Amino acid sequence: MPQPPADRQPDGVPVDLSVTLGRLRLPNPILVASGTFGYAREMVDFVELCRLGGVVPKTITPQPRPGNVPWRTIETAAGLLNSIGLDNDGLEAFLRVQLPFLLDCGAPVIVSIAGADQREFVQVADRLEGVPGIAALELNISCPNVSHGVDLGTDPEACRSVVAGVRGVTDLPVIAKLTPNVTSIAAVAKGARDGGADALTVINTCQGMAVDWRRRRPLLGNVVGGLSGPAIKPIALRCVHQVRRAVDTPIIGVGGIMTIDDVMEFLVTGASAVQVGTASFADPRAAIGLLDTLPAALAEAGVGRVADVVGTILLPGQATCAVPPVQP
């Protein structure tokens, strides 16, 4: 069935899909998540890249990384387990080979960066400062697949320090990507806020493991990996809820988003935008499909702007919210 243009509700009424996250303004709230969309070049035959709210390419590190030994992905009952291990060609190759294509694709490009320690994060951010066209930096302080990869994202003070360090060398909006693999994601979110983060991406993958009991071996070469896909959506929603209550910093929700109802659940819970990850492996056009159906969902919610639905969840004891109740 033909879809209405992404900026119109089904009855033709214009809808404002743009979102503002601190200093970052995006044309719509549907982004694609780091590590699940390559460097976008692979998708150009399938996806009108310029329609996306943002593209977050695979995380880059100062030096090339070969990643972990195979197997690196395992399908699970309701998700995907991966231990890619930040396989990437390094910062300079990214700048030379990948970034020019990305910047040409027409969608805002949020460059995902990682380093072994605070110094390396700052080094990468410093190198990217002044490169024209980049919309923002996303700090991957939450990859569970590299040695010590989550340390900076599990300790609130380390998180504050790395965000502040990056902040000190760049004028770009800085987004901290948080891990769910902590006791208190709210405490880490406060660290990111105190370091000056413009926005928080919530969440990276949840640590998991797959076992071949007959061979008595783990299936992943790295033994443990990160679980993504529908299995983690309830965890991601819980994290968005807790972060929303802890800080005022805008949130980009990610984790298990497959359908437009998933998108709306994240927005209502407090995310200002979302990223689509594992769903793109099943259908490279998943994010575009969600964008096409967003205006109708906003109409059903009784709003004409994305911002008007963000954080409107009614918790126990709350009778009303800013948005009028939806008529059945």
Q: Which residues bind ligand FMN (CB under 6 A)?
A: 33-36, 58-59, 80, 82, 84, 86, 112, 140, 143, 177, 204-205, 228-229, 232, 254-257, 276-279
Instruction: Tell me how far, at minimum, the Cβ of 52 lies from ligand FMN, in Å.
Output: 14
* Residue closer to ligand FMN (CB basis): 15 or 232: 232
The CA distance from 259 to 233, in Å, is 11
* Residue closer to ligand FMN (CB basis): 33 or 291: 33
Strand segments, DSSP code E, in the chain are 19-21, 24-26, 30-32, 54-55, 73-76, 79-82, 110-113, 136-140, 174-178, 199-202, 206-209, 211-212, 217-218, 224-228, 251-254, 273-276
Q: Which residue has the tokens 């700090």?
A: 139
The CA distance from 280 to 291, in Å, is 13
Instruction: Tell me how far, at minimum, the Cβ of 161 lies from ligand FMN, in Å.
Output: 19
Instruction: Tell me how far, at minimum, the Cβ of 115 lies from ligand FMN, in Å.
Output: 13
Position of minimal CB gap to ligand FMN: 35
Q: Which residue has the tokens 């979302």?
A: 274
The CA distance from 184 to 177, in Å, is 15
Q: Which residue has the tokens 């493991």?
A: 209
Instruction: Tell me how far, at minimum, the Cβ of 67 lies from ligand FMN, in Å.
Output: 10
* H helix or E strand, kind and range, residue 104: helix 99-104
* Residue closer to ligand FMN (CB basis): 9 or 154: 154
* Residue closer to ligand FMN (CB basis): 239 or 309: 239
Catalytic residue among 143, 159, 206, 239: 143
CA distances from 139 to 34, 105, 184, 200, 218 (A): 11, 22, 19, 9, 30
* 159 part of the active site: no
H and E: helices and strands count for the chain:
10, 16
Instruction: Tell me how far, at minimum, the Cβ of 17 lies from ligand FMN, in Å.
Output: 20
* Residue closer to ligand FMN (CB basis): 164 or 287: 287
CA distances from 214 to 134, 211, 219 (A): 49, 9, 11
Active site residues: 143
